[in-house]
Amino acid sequence: MMRQQTEGVNERSRDIDLKSIPEILSIINAEDRKAVDAVESALPDLVPLIEKAVESLSGSGRIFYVGAGTSGRLGVIDAAECPPTYGFPAERFVGIIAGGLGSLVKAHETAEDDEANGRQVIAEHQVGSEDVVVGISASGGAPFVCGALREAHERGAVTGAILCNQDGPIAHEAEIVIRLLTGPEVISGSTRMKAATAQKMLLTSFSTTVMVKLGRVTGNFMTCMRPTNAKLRERAKFIVSNVTGVSEQVAGEALEKNGYDIRKTVQVFRSCQ
């Protein structure tokens, strides 16, 4: 049986246990650079998944990330940022991790082997033909993710797969496949390293581009952001000031009058110009 790239031996770090601290850090840093190259190579394959996602969210559809272990955590984290950053409903951009949300803080390694539970969570969310389900697995073989993708496909949803090997079971369960070929890890098999770095970069690119195409930004400003704390209220003043040309003091006064609704405040100023 051929061993997957993510489980291979990295020759650069074969004797890492004999290296000095600066040498270890240099090796890790050099290998991390491969994550950037892997994402760049995968961008053309990401485009159709983004197009499907924009189409889905422009209607009444939803996006689901499904993963296990580190891959699942990354999906949950990325989905969780969409409501505060873009004012997007949390129930329409969902992260699912094998073993449930408790797996975010404590590893449940056996949960990824439960294919039936992968099917079950998709059924529980009543996934349908208007939805997009993205399976994330560094190895490409997590049964939980395979089960989720299979159930989603049978229910008519658009399915995508993100893996860090050339091939893997999830690649055969999805219509859109994105391969992040990062190669063997510094610590063999520890895909929380550069494989996860590449996954994080790709997910950020995916969600950001989707939100941009949905009109959730003005220029490069997050005008749908929810200013729920002091730092974000200061950011809101800066955004309104830059988009409209008024001073931050004037922007702050207008934001207070409009319940710190950035987009509404911008529209008020533009209607007066």
- Per residue in 208-231, pLDDT tens? 999 999 999 999 999 999 999 999
What CATH number did the domain enclosing 33 receive?
3.40.50.10490
Do 161 and 264 fall into the same domain? Answer: no
135 Cβ contact partners less than 8 Å away, ≥ 6 residues apart: 66, 67, 145, 146, 148, 149, 159, 160, 161, 162, 170, 173, 174
Do 158 and 237 fall into the same domain? Answer: no
Is 197 part of a structural domain of the chain?
A: yes
Dist. CA 99–CA 203, nearest whole Å: 21
Do 41 and 140 fall into the same domain? Answer: yes
Q: Are 111 and 240 spatial neighbours (Cβ–Cβ below 8 Å)? A: no
pLDDT at 1 exceeding the cut of 60 = no
Dist. CA 210–CA 208, nearest whole Å: 5
Given this model, what pLDDT does residue 267 score? 92
Do 100 and 166 fall into the same domain? Answer: yes
What is the C-alpha radius of gyration for the chain, rounded to an integer number of angstroms?
21
Q: Mean pLDDT, to the nearest integer, of 140-150? A: 97
In degrees rounded to 5, what are phi and psi of residue 35? -65, -40
Which token pair is 1? 């049986």
In degrees rounded to 5, what are phi and psi of residue 38? -65, -40
Is 159 part of a structural domain of the chain?
A: yes
Do 21 and 98 fall into the same domain? Answer: yes
Active site residues: 81, 112
Element at 134 (helix H, strand E): strand 132-137
Q: What is the dihedral of CA 206, 212, 214, 218, to 10 degrees?
A: 160
Dist. CA 266–CA 42, nearest whole Å: 37
Is 219 part of a structural domain of the chain?
A: no
Which token pair is 179? 């391969």
- To the nearest 10 degrees (0 to 180), the angle between helices 143-154 and 115-124 is 40
104 Cβ contact partners less than 8 Å away, ≥ 6 residues apart: 73, 76, 97
- Per residue in 181-201, pLDDT tens? 999 999 999 999 999 999 999
* Residues paired with residue 158 on neighbouring β-strands, in sequence order: 132
* Residues paired with residue 179 on neighbouring β-strands, in sequence order: 163
Do 78 and 170 fall into the same domain? Answer: yes
Residue matched to tokens 């539970």: 117
State the number of CA atoms in the 13 A half-sphere of 25 facing the CB.
3
- Per residue in 12-66, pLDDT tens? 999 999 999 999 999 999 999 999 999 999 999 999 999 999 999 999 999 999 9
Do 172 and 265 fall into the same domain? Answer: no
Do 33 and 97 fall into the same domain? Answer: yes
In whole numbers, what is the pLDDT of the chain averaged over residues?
95
Is 223 part of a structural domain of the chain?
A: no
Q: Mean pLDDT, to the nearest integer, of 234-255? A: 95
Out of 65-69, 84-88, 111-115, 140-144, least confident range:
111-115
Is 174 part of a structural domain of the chain?
A: yes
Domain membership of residue 240 as a residue range: 230-272
Given this model, what pLDDT does residue 248 score? 95
Given this model, what pLDDT does residue 2 score? 57
Cα 26 versus chain centre, distance: 27
Do 197 and 258 fall into the same domain? Answer: no
Is 126 part of a structural domain of the chain?
A: yes
Do 246 and 145 fall into the same domain? Answer: no
Is 163 part of a structural domain of the chain?
A: yes
Among 213, 246, 264, the domain boundary falls at 213
pTM of the entire predicted model: 0.94
Do 156 and 237 fall into the same domain? Answer: no
pLDDT at 98 exceeding the cut of 90 = yes
In degrees rounded to 5, what are phi and psi of residue 234? -65, -40
Is 220 part of a structural domain of the chain?
A: no
Total domains in the fold of the chain: 2
Q: What percent of the chain has pLDDT over 70?
A: 99
pLDDT at 273 exceeding the cut of 70 = no
Do 169 and 259 fall into the same domain? Answer: no
Which token pair is 187? 């610590």
Q: Mean pLDDT, to the nearest integer, of 155-176? A: 97
